[in-house]
Structure 1
């Protein structure tokens, strides 16, 4: 009876802890798990399993990600598979961490299969049993800022960045400016999964290389607080498109 109570407690703990994972729609999976010299295609096994649980998998070029994910890194949960092998068993630890590096779910799996590829994949499948189906909720974008405490100690706190998102318009088209990092940002249409324009910094301040949604490459720049894009025309000329902040 005591063993049964302990088992029940463990199962309940995993479920209570794992429910937060289901709040997410997007899961980032690295191209290679770092604790494996040969990861035996565990990245693909994990991706396929999570797709089956209705998660959207993010990998590779960030510029190809949905704008919803690019504009809010805290809407993404980060997955990792850690090599926990012993002499007798192939074991893994499946971890999910939020945008602040906090572990949301940790699940262990092990296999008695001695072959590395089959054994590690089997162990991962065991660890995946505790991962719930995606049932996403809205997750507010956050950023890390250093805040002085008692004038002597600094601590990190999360604050909403919704108010810092800038909206621009040329009178016909409304766009939102989303900062990806210090060197690039996008302009995106409401409810669109693809950026209208992607800006990458050049060596000249406030001048950018721009990739438009139709694939055209051009330049853009800031002018009097406005975002300007030189739009290629069919006759080989360029038209100046000015987006002013709303």
Structure 2
């Protein structure tokens, strides 16, 4: 709608009123079919049981031993056996054996990805030059 009133407040109100007059009455009805549908991909992921192979036992990396402790919901912790400090929290992703990882270090906390493969736990870390390196923990 277009108004001839120069004052913004009154002109805006008149323009909106004129715009609605040109639209006319609509026979819109809410559709329960549309409101209750969810995308198939979301529904499929919710129904799909993602089976994660949570690693167990003791792992070694660079001569240091680490223990895995499960925390439920396909999550687990990687713990340094020498000082009993948590090194990383692993949370399941939508892919089997791939995890969101919260790394805990003296330099700070950061998030990255990790995965379990061939009796190993692998964490990918971004370096200062924007490349990626892996840290492997083997049984």
Give me the TM-score of the superposition, normalised by structure 2.
Answer: 0.53
Match of 1:177 among 61, 68, 91: 68
**Residue pairs, 1:185-196, within 5 angstroms:** 185-192=76-83, 194-196=85-87
Distance 2:56 2:121 in 1: 14
Gaps of 5+ in 2: 1-54
The number of equivalent residue pairs is 82
After TM superposition, give the deviation of residue 165 of structure 1 in Å.
5.5
**Is 1:221 the equivalent of 2:105?**
no
Match of 2:58 among 146, 167, 170: 167
Cα 1:165–1:207 shift into 2, 3 Å: closer
**Residue pairs, 1:63-212, within 5 angstroms:** 166-192=57-83, 194-212=85-103
Gaps of 5+ in 1: 1-163
> Could you say what secondary structure the match of 1:216 adopts?
strand
After TM superposition, give the deviation of residue 178 of structure 1 in Å.
0.6
Give me the TM-score of the superposition, normalised by structure 1.
Answer: 0.31
Match of 1:237 among 91, 111, 131: 131
Distance 2:133 2:56 in 1: 27
Distance 1:172 1:225 in 2: 17
